[in-house]
A and B are shown apart, each in its own frame.
Chain A
């Protein structure tokens, strides 16, 4: 009897991109409904070319009474008689940071699933990038791609991931600014405490997170029987169970408890947590992510226009 699961080759981003486009075609243009994006009716996309809260310089304008003195740009004001205020460009343009786990455990694919976890993660990641870039969001990937806002962001992201060979277990999130959205796609097989320990500081920094857990159906159902040796694809350590079916109930309890714990903690942090099984179509996860990115879960789905 063949083994239920197998380790697959990491999927090429090129083919993943093609599939991602296919998936993305089903999803309506993603307009990130951030409550901070107040004015969306200005011409152009997102109307962000105006003064507002931001880091980049936008314009100097004369001081009007009643404005905060602290906003006066004294250097400019010193050049003539007027007092100027330095306006910054409104940084409403949302940067959505996308990250997918590419570790060895993600390369697992069982006979019950059509694709490996990594393949599914890459498809969802690129589809998300496609959708976001189509709607003019800025796409970035921590440690892989700096924020860009182009129409072909998904291709760029795919290329960057392809070029970036080293498999980071967890991304460096220091460069992610506040008010950004962070999409994390992984299997989160670490103990729940370890996962939360990593994610909690990020959440504290005001980053909105959307966590997608990808799991293979075998990992959840545990259909093993008889004498079985289990091999960890990452560490290579082995465990042999004399009668695997006896572990079924205990394992499932622990596995689901871990998921429950992560989910509960993330909800407390204000993050979203989605579980996706690789035997389900990728679109389901994509729609769920889309919904969460759109703001209101369940209320964000627009009519399909494309």
Chain B
């Protein structure tokens, strides 16, 4: 049975393929039918149509497509079947199914069950009993039974995350079958070899089963993770694989306890080698969060490696003779050690001040590393505990100091023999200079680190020379004296820094190398140090279990507590599936693969006869007819669409679509252009009627007057403002443009600083909208100069109200006007340009009304009232425009009343002051202080 075996139910139909050339010939002759159109001007068209454009046959690919359709239909009618099952079960005896359900079967379990089901069906058809035995179960039951019960057992079983026990299974078969001949022996192997089972296999095959079938997975990428450990430069992972034929790379990921991937790496297998390694180079801080390593895209228990605390952060106990002085932390060695160790270690500091009690307290917390900074002598009663701890794997890290220098010679906790006293380099009475470091020793923990250039040592403790001193030295000074020495004690180790842990003897503690050196030294320690005391068994309850498909689950009732005997490595079994054993605070990981375990390919021992091998994948026979017919139908649809397109069925649709698309594109472009052109003021789309007028009046200040609709009044206003404009240009630096008449109803008001509004009783009263526009103008900083021109008639005490005043009152009733007052003598209007005490126009006598100042209480204190905010309204009755009005020859149009040239001059000056006041605001109010300021400056 090959992987691509094909059989036909009705092979005779295949002769229909012979008809393909005929179909081809027919297809050539029938082009797609054109659309018939009656067309009277055919002769004209015939002249245009030079040659016969129409193909006499359809394009070759269309023909090929149709031939393909025909061929597909013919083949489909022949009822092809893929992977036809033709093996019959031997009915010489019961069929024996040995089905592996170890960890490797989890991934393709369904296919395996399907194969087993097929076999059971075949046995049922051949009417032979079935003995089914599962290799990874606790007790193997191989007694032959009916197919139905075998099927029941098959459905009840599931893959287990343990190794298959072939020996037990085969022996169960042997004992169950006894003398009964075996008809068919079907082995549904997981591909792994059980070395214990060789003898049992030979016994089984010696029974000479009539038919031996071996089902094997053809998955060539069987990989199991074997070990993972924390290395100096990363997290190293090693793995085993089954098939060693070619080099392979597999992606692995490190996950945290929540299953989130923290790091990714690649497992490299070389060709011919079953060992693969990977290095996850991730920061040390991150490595502590690794909970397991998994192979991507692989779901079995071997592809997930659980990590326990052996890969976790070290617990470091700190001991110092002097307590951490919080007021002067920089002088305390613990300060430097804490800062250096914090990133990668859990630091524990004893509560007890007494050194002996402190050591006892720390030992109880089972640290991986004990750091002693300048402790001269370890108390006698703590010595034994400490030594035992070191010998069981603890790492003692000592730093020198004055106390150690004066300590006893027979200190057991030093790696090398020390010379009493210290050596000072570069002191005032010394010729020597502070020493820098030599390159790190190649064999120590610091191997590979760069030599620190910036570290100098002023003072150190010297070691007695001895033959093995160099071997024990990890780092030395430039003159060869050791700086860091180390020696193993039992399973543990003692490391001594010959300088202090604070920056008094050297600047090493404030160097970045200090952190790296400590980190490397701490990495040497074992986390489980002292956890399991030698000599007694520990029983750990299951905490988390690994299922066969590689997921981490809560423990089920079937899992038993793990007995860990001293000095042995626990192995997985039916009772102890892989998982984490212990409690949340501390657990041991039990993985599928043990260190140094390898994967071996399953092979049957040699026996007379050959096994029939087959794979699991694609074993099901499959009727191809519906697929072929569906394909033919789809191709037929495609053909129809092609023909329809060729006949122009969609042309109108396409044209419409393209037209609408073109329109959409054009619209988009238009919008884009609009966006681009938004900035340019000259864009046609933005232009509004009257823009040119606005632009013309923007470059200069223009005086503006309100067009009342009364021709005479408007003309007077125009002439008057023209006269004032000329006067302003002549006398001041303000050079206004032409006066502008403004229609309150329509024209924009915001362009003008001042609006001269002569009140005319004859004119149409302004509309409500116009009044509200004036109100807005005033609120936004504009000033309106109302001129009632009735000084002779109104605004006096007689109570006679002129019609102009009535009109003004009507207008003002709708405006939001603050309190008004006649211009006081110290108002800035009186000083804005000329010093004035009155503001006459053609008439004199009418006061100039402005907004009342708010700060009336300080009225006498200041020479001028600071009109912060120009009065938005000025009212006069003196007919200013009449006085300003001059014709083209510069001759006054109206006489003043009384006829006094000085009054006209004062009228102009009033206008100048009003304009200056409007344009400069309180600037002039400040100017009045200038004499006082100059006087104060002493000039």
**Chain A residues packing against B (C-beta within 8 Å):** 1, 3-7, 105-106, 108, 187, 189-191, 216, 219, 224-235, 237, 239-245, 247, 250-251, 254-255, 258
Say yes or no: A239 contacts B44, CB within 8 Å.
no
Which of A191, A235, A241, A245 contacts B54, CB < 8 Å? A241
Which of B35, B40, B53, B649 contacts A219, CB < 8 Å? B40
**Complex-state Cα separation, A255 to B46, whole angstroms:** 11
- CB neighbours of A190 from chain B (8 A): 43
A-B residue pair count with CB separations less than 8 angstroms? 107
**Complex-state Cα separation, A254 to B43, whole angstroms:** 11
Known contacts A5-B37, A105-B40, A240-B34; is A227 also within 8 Å of B49 by CB?
no
Which of B35, B42, B49, B646 contacts A1, CB < 8 Å? B35
Q: Is B651 an interface residue (CB 8 A)?
A: yes
Chain A proximity of B81: nearest CB distance (Å): 43
- CB neighbours of A6 from chain B (8 A): 38
Smallest CB gap from B652: residue in A: A225
**Complex-state Cα separation, A232 to B43, whole angstroms:** 8
Say yes or no: A189 contacts B40, CB within 8 Å.
yes
Say yes or no: A241 contacts B49, CB within 8 Å.
yes
**Complex-state Cα separation, A231 to B39, whole angstroms:** 6
Which of B35, B40, B43, B651 contacts A229, CB < 8 Å? B35
Known contacts A225-B652, A245-B651; is A231 also within 8 Å of B44 by CB?
no
Say yes or no: B35 contacts A227, CB within 8 Å.
yes
Chain B proximity of A262: nearest CB distance (Å): 12
* Residue of B32, B35, B652 most packed against chain A (CB within 10 A): B35
Say yes or no: A230 contacts B42, CB within 8 Å.
yes
Known contacts A4-B37, A229-B34; is A242 also within 8 Å of B54 by CB?
yes
Q: Is B45 an interface residue (CB 8 A)?
A: yes
Say yes or no: B36 contacts A229, CB within 8 Å.
yes
**Complex-state Cα separation, A228 to B47, whole angstroms:** 16
Chain B proximity of A225: nearest CB distance (Å): 4
Say yes or no: A189 contacts B37, CB within 8 Å.
no
Given A190-B43, A227-B34, A254-B44; 20 other pairs, CB 8 A cutoff: A1-B652, A3-B36, A3-B37, A5-B38, A7-B38, A108-B40, A219-B40, A225-B648, A227-B32, A229-B34, A231-B37, A231-B38, A233-B38, A234-B40, A237-B42, A241-B49, A241-B53, A243-B53, A245-B651, A250-B48
Q: Is B41 an interface residue (CB 8 A)?
A: yes
Chain B proximity of A38: nearest CB distance (Å): 44
Smallest CB gap from A191: residue in B: B43
Smallest CB gap from B35: residue in A: A228
**Complex-state Cα separation, A191 to B48, whole angstroms:** 13
Say yes or no: B41 contacts A226, CB within 8 Å.
no
Q: Is B647 an interface residue (CB 8 A)?
A: yes
Chain B, interface size: which category? Answer: 20 to 34
- Can you show 21 pairs from A to B with CB atoms below 8 A apart? A3-B36, A5-B37, A5-B38, A187-B40, A216-B40, A219-B39, A225-B652, A227-B32, A227-B34, A227-B54, A227-B647, A228-B648, A229-B34, A229-B35, A230-B42, A232-B40, A240-B34, A241-B34, A241-B49, A247-B48, A255-B41
**Complex-state Cα separation, A227 to B32, whole angstroms:** 9
Smallest CB gap from A106: residue in B: B40
- CB neighbours of A224 from chain B (8 A): 37
Chain A proximity of B200: nearest CB distance (Å): 78
Q: Is B55 an interface residue (CB 8 A)?
A: yes
Chain B proximity of A144: nearest CB distance (Å): 23
Say yes or no: B45 contacts A251, CB within 8 Å.
yes
**Complex-state Cα separation, A213 to B615, whole angstroms:** 84
Smallest CB gap from A194: residue in B: B43
- CB neighbours of B647 from chain A (8 A): 226-227
**Complex-state Cα separation, A134 to B627, whole angstroms:** 81
Within 8 A of A (CB), among B271-287: none
Within 8 A of A (CB), among B200-239: none
- CB neighbours of B38 from chain A (8 A): 3, 5-7, 108, 230-231, 233
**Complex-state Cα separation, A225 to B649, whole angstroms:** 9
**Complex-state Cα separation, A245 to B35, whole angstroms:** 13
Chain A proximity of B222: nearest CB distance (Å): 60
Chain B proximity of A258: nearest CB distance (Å): 6
Say yes or no: A226 contacts B40, CB within 8 Å.
no
- CB neighbours of A5 from chain B (8 A): 37-39
Chain B proximity of A148: nearest CB distance (Å): 32
Chain A proximity of B613: nearest CB distance (Å): 59
Say yes or no: B43 contacts A189, CB within 8 Å.
yes
Say yes or no: B48 contacts A1, CB within 8 Å.
no
Say yes or no: B648 contacts A242, CB within 8 Å.
no
Known contacts A247-B45, A254-B44, A255-B44; is A226 also within 8 Å of B651 by CB?
yes
* Residue of B37, B44, B46 most packed against chain A (CB within 10 A): B37
Say yes or no: B53 contacts A242, CB within 8 Å.
yes
Residue-wise, chain B 189-209 has the 8 Å CB interface mask toward A (1 for contact) of 000000000000000000000
* Residue of B36, B38, B647, B648 most packed against chain A (CB within 10 A): B38
Say yes or no: B39 contacts A258, CB within 8 Å.
no
- CB neighbours of B32 from chain A (8 A): 227
- CB neighbours of B648 from chain A (8 A): 225-228, 243-245
Chain A proximity of B586: nearest CB distance (Å): 81
Chain A proximity of B641: nearest CB distance (Å): 14
- CB neighbours of B40 from chain A (8 A): 105-106, 108, 187, 189, 216, 219, 232-234
Smallest CB gap from B53: residue in A: A242
Smallest CB gap from A237: residue in B: B42
- CB neighbours of A250 from chain B (8 A): 48
Say yes or no: B44 contacts A225, CB within 8 Å.
no
Chain A proximity of B188: nearest CB distance (Å): 62
Chain B proximity of A198: nearest CB distance (Å): 16
**Complex-state Cα separation, A243 to B655, whole angstroms:** 14
**Complex-state Cα separation, A300 to B648, whole angstroms:** 49
Chain A proximity of B644: nearest CB distance (Å): 10
- CB neighbours of B46 from chain A (8 A): 239
Smallest CB gap from B649: residue in A: A1
Residue-wise, chain B 7-50 has the 8 Å CB interface mask toward A (1 for contact) of 00000000000000000000000001011111111111111110
- CB neighbours of B54 from chain A (8 A): 227, 240-242
**Complex-state Cα separation, A4 to B41, whole angstroms:** 14
